[in-house]
Amino acid sequence: MDINEILTAKKELKFNTDGKFRILFMTDLHCGRDGSPQLPAGVEALVEHCRPDLVLIGGDTSGCDRHIHCENEADLREVLDSVCGPMEKRGIPWAHVFGNHDDNFGYKKEEQETVYESYPCCVSKRGDVSGVANYVLPIKSHDGEKIAFNVFMLDSHDNLRVMAREQSRPDVLNAVLPVHFAAGRDYAMPYFDQVVSYYECSKALEEFNGAPIPAMMAMHIPVPEVHLAYMNPEECRLNGNTREDIGCGELNSGLFAACVQRGDVKLMCFGHDHQCDFEAEYCGIHFAYGGGMAYDCYCDDDMRGGRVIDLDENMPGKFVTYNVRLRDIVGASADNLKKN
């Protein structure tokens, strides 16, 4: 594992001189050609209000239905120019993971990744394990001497039909049983080689740093353990909206168990379920949904917005996270005008 390559980024991520660092997590923008003009305006308002040091985009950035989607590079650049323009013009680093809808219309994630990485402030990386855009973003201490925090970004793929086709394993489709674990969906999950890659990268960075490094992880589809928190709200101190079922898959890759064993990941952020924006805690790891930002796909007006994660270099492993609602920033103009 090449530590120097991991530490190399187009834009350096470093705690501010006051020891603070703010992350804004936005997800499920679901935009494409002829998309709602409210979305870029909403992103602009959110970025201006939160003033983050890093923006994370949690997947399903492009694609919604046959009308709102991206089919080629020109379509994707039009989308990214509009929704990532607020970060680009301010010089704010931003990164992304892919969701289960980003390549539904034939424009492959491998090709899309090249477009993403062409943006000056995009610090995403392709990765060399299953999926596209698996990487870690080390955030250095304010003096640049140590790694103070890691942000792991993972591709949670699409659905088990894709996995069955790619691996010629039709038996995988039998994973969803009549008596199922969660909502009984055939969604996918990070594959085992991604879990191993995270685990080995975490260890290597700790050895390089000479000390443990607290971390967070972001992906699109939630891990199955989020459903356990959903079913046990009191024990897991669940707080926030749970207006739809947890859209995790039925196969468990062991990612959460690996995070528990390593002990570095303190927070896992997810998208995918637009009508969930809750927080919960299980086995010492904090779960947090980003809600949704979409105007051309289902999203409740009172939930639309993003999630802030505030880090403090002087309090390793601690963080403060909360949702920021567009309604609270711009009022009723944040609501979907198409409903009127």
Q: What is the rounded distance in angstroms from the CA atom of residue 101 to the CA atom of residue 69?
A: 9
Answering whether pTM is above 0.85, one says yes
Query: Residue 191 corresponds to which tokens in the numbers above?
Result: 């594959």
pLDDT number for residue 66: 65
How does pLDDT run across 130-154, given as a tens digit for each residue? 999 999 999 999 999 999 999 999 9
Q: What's the whole-number average pLDDT of the chain?
A: 94
Helices 73-83 and 38-50 meet at what angle, rounded to 10? 40
- Which of 210, 214, 245, 213 shows the shortest CA–CA distance to 231? 245
**What burial letters (b/e) apply to 207-239, b meaning 16+ CB within 10 Å?**
ebbeeebbbbbbbbbbbbbbbbbbeeeeebebe
Classify residue 231 by its DSSP letter. H
Q: Examine the pLDDT at 340 and tell me if it is beyond 50.
A: no
CA atoms within 13 A on the CB side of 211: 9
pLDDT number for residue 200: 97
What is the share, in percent, of the chain residues with pLDDT greater than 70?
99
pLDDT, mean of residues 300-329: 96
pLDDT, mean of residues 301-309: 96
pLDDT number for residue 7: 84
How does pLDDT run across 36-84, given as a tens digit for each residue? 899 999 999 999 999 999 999 999 998 776 677 788 999 999 999 999 9
